[in-house]
Every structure is written in structure tokens, then in C-alpha cells.
Amino acid sequence: MRERRVAQGARRAREFEAFVAGAAGRLSQTATLLTAEPPKDNPRARRLLTHALAHTYADWDRLRGEDPYDRTRQHLAVRFARGAWHRHSFFRPALGGTLNMLSPQERLILVLRLYEGVAEEQTAALLGLPAERVHAVCLRAMATVLHPPRETTPRVAKVVAPS
């Protein structure tokens, strides 16, 4: 009984390490896009990703053929959606490029739909929104990224940085 558990733990660790070695780059990029942090300095994205991967690790023996990448991405998206609304919605780091002009929801939908290639219906189901809304938000976000409005930069300056 005990030996079996040890063997199972070793197998889980081995498989998980192989999975992370393959998927960490892309997942890390996804998380960084979500938080709109600069790629060199992304503590929030890193925390988000560590939590999502930890859940995948804990659920590893119960995945039953489900794609661990898919599972991690879902964790990432749901966790970001929950956290973005009530804590960080008004705090935007000054660096990070075009994505900073989007709201967290717009960013989430844009990244899931275009960077990760998740279908509209699946995105809608994951976030609990109607598919038409996902479509509309995605179009709006695309328009903002392609034709950034000039006068939105001062929004960042008004926020007092937490010490």
C-alpha cells in the first residue's frame, strides 16, 4: 500500500516535470499577457502560473486522459478572472505595451481566443458569458490593439503606486 503510493508519487513527479518542461514557456507567456506585465518583470503572472500548475499537479492522478495543458489554462483563466475584478482592476503597471489599454476582461478574452485559440463557445462557457458577448468584447479588444487611441495614457498616471 505504502510502496504503491510512493511509486505513484514518483510517476506523478516524473510526468509532471516532463509536462512543465514542454508547456511552461507558452503558459508563462499566456500568464504574462493576461497580467500585461513586462516579460522581464512579471511577479503576478508567475504567481498565477505557479498556482495553476500546483492545482494541475494535485489533480494529476485524476485527470483520466484530460489534457493537462487545457486544465492549467482553465485554472489560469478562472483564477485571473476572479482576481482581476476585485483586487487589481484599477492598478495597471506603467510598462507592458499595448495590452495595458485593455480592461482585464478584454485582455482575458483576447488572449484566450487569439493567442490560445480557444473556440468562442468554450471561452463563453469557461467565463460564464453569452457567446455573443465574447464575440463583441473580442472585436472591441482587437480594434483597440490595432488602432490604439492616443489619449488613454494618462489613466495610468493618476493611480498612486502602492508603497
Partner 1 sequence: MSLREREAAVRRVLERTPPQVPPGLCGDAMRRGGRLLRRRTAARRLMWLVLLAAVVAFFVWAVMARPWVEPPSETTPPLTGW
**Interface residue list for partner 1 (CB under 8 A):** 13, 16-17, 20-21, 24-26, 28-29, 32-33, 39-40, 42, 46, 49-51, 53-58, 60, 98, 110-111, 114-115, 142, 145-146
Q: Give 14 or 133: the residue with its C-beta nearer to partner 1.
A: 14
Q: Give 121 or 159: the residue with its C-beta nearer to partner 1.
A: 121
How far apart, in whole angstroms, are the C-alpha atoms of residue 78 and residue 71?
11
Shortest gap between Cβ of 146 and partner 1 (angstroms)?
6
Shortest gap between Cβ of 105 and partner 1 (angstroms)?
16
Residues near 52 by beta carbon (within 8 Å), at least 6 away in sequence: 27, 31, 72, 73, 75, 76, 79
Q: Give 9 or 130: the residue with its C-beta nearer to partner 1.
A: 9
Shortest gap between Cβ of 79 and partner 1 (angstroms)?
13
| Residue found by looking up cell 503576478 in the block | 44
Phi-psi region of 96 (alpha: psi -120 to 50; beta: other; left: phi over 0): left
Residues near 125 by beta carbon (within 8 Å), at least 6 away in sequence: none
Q: Give 56 or 128: the residue with its C-beta nearer to partner 1.
A: 56
